[in-house]
Structure 1
Amino acid sequence: MVKFFTNNILYRYGTPRKIISDKGTAFKNARVDEFTRRYNIEWRYSYVYNPRANGLAEAFNKTLIKILRKTVGNNRKDWHNKLPEALWAYRIMHRTPTQATPYSLVYGTEAVSPIEVELPSLRVAMASEVPLTKQIQLRLQEFDGMDERRLAAQQNLELYQARMTRAYEKLSIPRAFRRGELVLVLRRPITGRHHGPKFAPNWEGTFRIDQVYDGGAYLLATENGEHPLPILNGRCLKKYYSQNQLPEYTKPRRHPDEDFIANWAEAHEGMTQLFSRQ
């Protein structure tokens, strides 16, 4: 991974200040630690099952998967062969959040697609008629305006994210827990400690909140004080209620028919005893 990152990111785009990834073994090992120290890179790790911690990377992965689904054949094992084409499609795709293509934000101009070479577009035809010195001047002008375009794209992205956040907050109820509270954990492949039957409960536990972190992350502990699970986001948890702590609207209520049946049974028993005496 270090070699790939060095050749494809570092030598092509420069040294980043910060990198965010999950806690996979490919990203969390001694070689990565040495690499970050050498180039003074801050490497941060996201929490389990919290895609928002990876931000734009998860949004990119979601779009990339959609493209791959449309390009792979019936045998989906060849998806890696279609990956370069999918990446190319994404890079030249106009993105609504930024109002620009990723390619133009990196290189300052739109990419020339293969079909524009076979069937020359207007800009390709005009470029062939422009002298080389004029082309160089136009290219330098594009470079001069790159910072402005990138700033505009950043502002468009922030406005888009703000709109999405407002829409999400209208429909979502944040979950906050205090230290010492009892919770249940959503049963998932990583958090689940065993594989249950098909209709097994979706929640397992109980666990106690042992540590509370910023961003709605929690460290859970068992009754013995052990920590069998990684740090989880609050969206994977829900509060545990004992039978005595259940809210009134969730407690089982006595059905009116139960009172009728009980009264009928008592009356029937009384009539039976009366006739037996006679």
Structure 2
Amino acid sequence: MKPIQISIYDIPAHCYNIEEVENDNCPWYQEILLYVKNREYPDQATENDKRTLRRLAIDYVLDGEILYKRGKDRVLLSTIMEVCNQFSIKHHNSSLYRPKMNGAMEVANKNIKKIVAKIAETYKDSHEKLPFALLSYRTSIRTSTGATPFSLVYEMKAVLPIEIEIPSLQKRMMRAYNKKVRTREFHEEDLVLKKILPLQKDFRGKWMPNCEGPYVVKKAFSGGALFLSEMDGQNLLNPVNSDSVKKYFT
């Protein structure tokens, strides 16, 4: 078998081809620079050459007189060998390294996939449901650690959007309830009927009345507590709440 020869270049391979053809002391990116700056094509350029130049110029950005190239993540790259030489950095190209893992990442991805599958209506809107799935996963307690991933990273409890809305919802419910509530005021010598509590046993069973009395209000407190007495003047031992009585009219 013939050995395979591998060459390592300091600059992109197409630069060598340009230097072999052109001897006008212009940099290899001169045509790209002119197109990005002024949208100019080289003289005697064919339609195929123009199309190739437009495709190459997409990845380049002009900042003043300096031409930068974007990487795959759209981050600007800076002509890097000069930076390494300036700061005495030894730069070595190496293959990607993927250390061995214990499967934690695969388990997390599997759980997120299950959440997305449950909340997504069709496969076309799965990408729109991904942020909600991530929020649900990061704010749920893991059985292995007894804490949420959010709390482990930031050392604090995550505040959910619904928790911010709960106080305002409660206030609106209280205002709506208070509009319909009619306060009942009791004064001394008022006649009232007292509700019979379900714990009280009565031989009449389901025919048992709901209220008993009438009683006379002997003393009323602002907090709603009432002291009652029977019609013959005998006082009841325990006070009652005003919610458990209603006025008696003769």
TM-score range for the pair, normalised by the shorter chain length: 0.3 to 0.5
Looking at secondary structure, tell me which structure has more helix per residue.
1
**What TM-score results when the alignment is normalised by the length of structure 2?**
0.34
Higher relative contact order (CA 8 A, sep 6+): 1
